[in-house]
């Protein structure tokens, strides 16, 4: 298994990426080979500085960098030797089994759509977040930002995508899929969720359990929570705001500690023809490490192939 | 000042309403007269049982009750002597300055729209919640459920309504109004928030500070947060879910304790021709007490008149 990572992306490149990679390689051992993509000299310098061993990694040189503030769609084609573009090139050729990065999110999305492309039949690829369940494990919520306006059939597909992700990466058998709504009854909601509910209610594509509400976000009654990207993004940032207050107030609690995004590291882009994983631009080394472990799980679960098959 | 309350509504009627009223009357003293609406015998029995003084209150008999599970629009006209219908009758005639209740929310909304009616010019009346700010005080969020689908001009009006509520009830001078969105930049968002932002950005009707995000929900940078009722309802219930976990885990923290809805007690229905205040069906006596104190503040601030003037 070969996992590529963009070393030049994120607010603390290259060091946070390198430290995270060193830690991940230790955990992965011979199960996976990390492929570090970026400016070779910088990468080697950072590995040495951070007490790593250059020989533990494969390094693929890329001379250019797409900056965090650069316009994704314009910059991506103009910088073919950027670490992101080189990473997608390797991914497309099958030279890596997954490509992970914490750089310019837009460029990672553009790279996904332009290079490996959306899976035929998937209307809108999307991204996820995890919400810790009160009784252990996590709820997977999608979409959380790439699709602010959704049609009912897009939400329906999120149900399929989330279910496959939960099954093949989190190893949840027959994951329970809920539609985020503002009431339990079928007829509740806005026009979007009312129509989506009708599409979902008798589906055989996933295990639909009905509407769930804001109060169920951390509940064990569901595994996958489907919503439009606007709602998902607000929910995600509200959870982050809450966690920020928990930390600020010095509360150390086993459950609330699990809201730390560093423990999860990132999200796959669901619905594209290869395994792409993105993380926060401000990722710590721990977050980068966990993004790489997630990337391994995604590649091991063969997620993009499983999705392709489901939509075939 | 005369504040009416439906004694027969809610999951624990009449006792929770009576105990809350006894406590509120003690705090309000001669500033306000509480008018208890419902089955006279039941009310008197409950006052005595709960060590209250019947002479502290005015009691208006209503023989019927609209149950929590009854269909609001169908039941309201069929039960003209229900405590809710009698309350709205008193309100319409100006015999009470505010009408509060924790009964069938739909019936309270129907009563508002059919009896006192929406203020001319207000497209969609709405309800609010408060989110405790990390540095003290609260953010007022609206709508939180009555309008699942909104047009941009409706969100614009929520900005006006929330601003007037913050000013005349919470005594916030020139309240900062933010549009809940998924990015700070003007062009971010879904079609609804993009269009609403354009309408709001140069307004003189309220102090628009731009987009706010899920991470700003508890922030001091804003006073009033505008969103559609779907998003607001999800945000509200997510906050409740967090608070449930805080309590469940035995965390006693000054800030998080302020998430207890009992401290706020309810919300006015903004945009109707009189002061109507509703609370949770499961309200404790403390919540009922605080709903009545809020009702007093709403009536004292003359909120519905101020809104009428702003929309004239």
| CB pair distance less than 8 Å for A145 and B193 | no
The string of pLDDT tens digits covering residues B256-288 is 999 999 999 999 999 999 999 999 999 999 999
Q: Which two tokens stand for residue B177?
A: 């109004």
Torsion, Cα A180 B267 B60 B32, to 10 degrees, reads 160
Mutate to test the interface with B, among A131, A148, A152 (most CBs of B within 10 A): A148
Q: Would you state the pLDDT for residue A296?
A: 98
* Chain B residue closest in CA terms to A234: B214
What residues in chain B have per-residue pLDDT under 70? Answer: none
Mutate to test the interface with A, among B182, B226, B282 (most CBs of A within 10 A): B182
Q: Would you state the pLDDT for residue B145?
A: 87
Which residue among B214, B233, B245 sits closest to A238, beta carbon to beta carbon?
A: B214
| CB pair distance less than 8 Å for A180 and B234 | yes
What residues in chain A have per-residue pLDDT under 70? Answer: none
The Cα-based distances of B9 to A62, A155, B18, B67 in angstroms read 69, 38, 11, 7
Rounded CA-CA distance A221/A67 in Å is 42
Q: Would you state the pLDDT for residue A220?
A: 94
The string of pLDDT tens digits covering residues A272-289 is 999 999 999 999 999 999
Chain A residues with CB-CB distance to B180 below 8 A: 234
Rounded to a whole number, what is the distance in Å from the CA of A78 to chain B's nearest CA?
24
Q: Would you state the pLDDT for residue A27?
A: 97
SS3 B51: coil
B245 touches chain A (CB under 8 A): yes
Q: Would you state the pLDDT for residue B277?
A: 98
The string of pLDDT tens digits covering residues A137-181 is 999 999 998 999 999 999 999 999 999 999 999 999 999 999 999
Rounded CA-CA distance A284/A13 in Å is 10
Is the predicted ipTM greater than 0.90, yes or no?
A: yes
Rounded to a whole number, what is the distance in Å from the CA of B148 to chain A's nearest CA?
5
Chain B residues with CB-CB distance to A282 below 8 A: none
B282 touches chain A (CB under 8 A): no
Instruction: Give Cβ neighbours of residue A195 (< 8 Å, ≥ 6 apart).
Output: A152
Rounded CA-CA distance A183/B141 in Å is 19
Q: Could you write out the DSSP letters of every residue in A131-187?
A: EE-TTSSEEEEE-SSS-SS--HHHHHHHHHHHHHHHHHTS--SS-EEEEE-SSSSTT
Size of interface A-B (CB pairs under 8 A): 117
Q: Could you write out the DSSP letters of every residue in A28-47?
A: HGGG-EEEEEE-HHHHHHHH
Q: Would you state the pLDDT for residue B134?
A: 85
| CB pair distance less than 8 Å for B214 and A234 | yes
Q: Are B168 and B302 in contact (CB under 8 A)?
A: yes
Estimate the share of chain B in helix, then strand, then coil, as percent rounded to the nearest 5.
45, 20, 35
Instruction: Round the CA-based radius of gyration of chain B to a whole number and report it.
Output: 19
CA angle B260, B262, B268 (to 5 degrees): 115
A178 by Cβ neighbours in 10 Å (0-12 / 13-18 / 19+) ranks as: buried
Chain B residues with CB-CB distance to A190 below 8 A: 148-149, 228, 230
Chain A residues with CB-CB distance to B149 below 8 A: 190-191
SS3 A261: helix
Which residue among B235, B237, B249 sits closest to A253, beta carbon to beta carbon?
A: B249
* Chain A residue closest in CA terms to B251: A251
| Nearest partner of B190 among B141, B151, B162, B145, judged by Cα | B151
Mutate to test the interface with B, among A242, A244, A246, A261 (most CBs of B within 10 A): A242
Instruction: Give Cβ neighbours of residue B162 (< 8 Å, ≥ 6 apart).
Output: B128, B140, B142, B175, B177, B206, B224, B225, B226, B270
Rounded CA-CA distance A123/A138 in Å is 26
CB crowding B279-290: b at 16 or more within 10 Å, else e:
bbbebbbbbbbb
Chain B residues with CB-CB distance to A245 below 8 A: 134, 218, 255-256
Return the axis-axis angle of helices B285-300 and B15-28, rounded to nearest 10°: 50
The beta-carbon contacts of B163-168 under 8 Å, at least 24 apart in sequence, are B163/B205, B163/B206, B163/B207, B163/B224, B164/B270, B164/B303, B164/B306, B164/B307, B164/B310, B165/B128, B165/B140, B165/B224, B165/B268, B165/B270, B165/B303, B166/B140, B166/B223, B166/B224, B167/B306, B168/B301, B168/B302, B168/B303, B168/B306
B189 touches chain A (CB under 8 A): yes
Beta-strand runs (E) in B221-278: 224-226, 267-268, 275-278
Which residue among A193, A219, A237 sits closest to B214, beta carbon to beta carbon?
A: A237
| CB pair distance less than 8 Å for B234 and A240 | no
A63 touches chain B (CB under 8 A): no
Rounded to a whole number, what is the distance in Å from the CA of A37 to chain B's nearest CA?
30
Rounded CA-CA distance B172/B251 in Å is 31
Q: Would you state the pLDDT for residue B135?
A: 83
B239 touches chain A (CB under 8 A): yes
Q: Would you state the pLDDT for residue A284?
A: 97
B220 touches chain A (CB under 8 A): no
Q: Would you state the pLDDT for residue A135?
A: 83
Q: Are B180 and B225 in contact (CB under 8 A)?
A: yes
A20 half-sphere exposure, CB direction, 13 A CA radius: 37
Q: Would you state the pLDDT for residue A236?
A: 97
Q: Are B282 and B12 in contact (CB under 8 A)?
A: yes
Q: Would you state the pLDDT for residue B302?
A: 96
């Amino acid at each position: 298994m070969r996992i590529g990572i963009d070393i030049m992306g994120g607010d603390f490149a290259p060091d946070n990426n390198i430290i995270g990679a060193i830690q991940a390689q230790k955990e992965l051992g011979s199960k996976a080979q990390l492929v570090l993509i970026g400016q070779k000299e910088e990468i080697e310098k950072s590995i040495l500085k951070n007490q790593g061993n250059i020989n533990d990694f494969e390094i693929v040189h890329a001379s250019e960098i797409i900056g965090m503030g650069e316009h994704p769609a314009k910059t991506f084609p103009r910088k073919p030797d950027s670490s992101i573009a080189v990473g997608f090139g390797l991914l497309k050729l099958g030279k890596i089994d997954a490509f992970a990065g914490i750089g310019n999110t837009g460029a990672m999305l553009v790279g996904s759509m332009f290079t490996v492309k959306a899976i035929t039949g998937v209307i809108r690829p999307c991204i996820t977040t995890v919400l810790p369940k009160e009784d252990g494990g996590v709820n997977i919520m999608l979409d959380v930002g790439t699709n602010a306006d959704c049609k009912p059939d897009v939400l329906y597909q999120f149900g399929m995508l989330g279910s496959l992700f939960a099954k093949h990466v989190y190893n949840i058998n027959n994951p329970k899929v809920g539609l985020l709504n503002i009431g339990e009854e079928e007829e509740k909601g806005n026009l979007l969720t009312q129509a989506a509910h009708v599409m979902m209610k008798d589906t055989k594509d996933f295990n639909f359990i009905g509407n769930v509400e804001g109060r169920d976000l951390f509940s064990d009654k569901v595994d996958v929570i489907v919503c439009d990207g606007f709602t998902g993004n607000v929910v995600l940032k509200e959870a982050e705001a809450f966690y920020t207050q928990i930390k600020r107030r010095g509360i150390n609690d086993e459950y609330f500690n699990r809201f730390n995004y560093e423990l999860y590291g990132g999200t796959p882009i669901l619905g594209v023809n290869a395994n792409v994983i993105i993380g926060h631009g401000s990722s710590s080394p721990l977050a980068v490490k966990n993004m790489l472990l997630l990337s391994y799980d995604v590649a091991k679960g063969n997620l993009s192939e499983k999705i392709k098959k489901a939509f075939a």
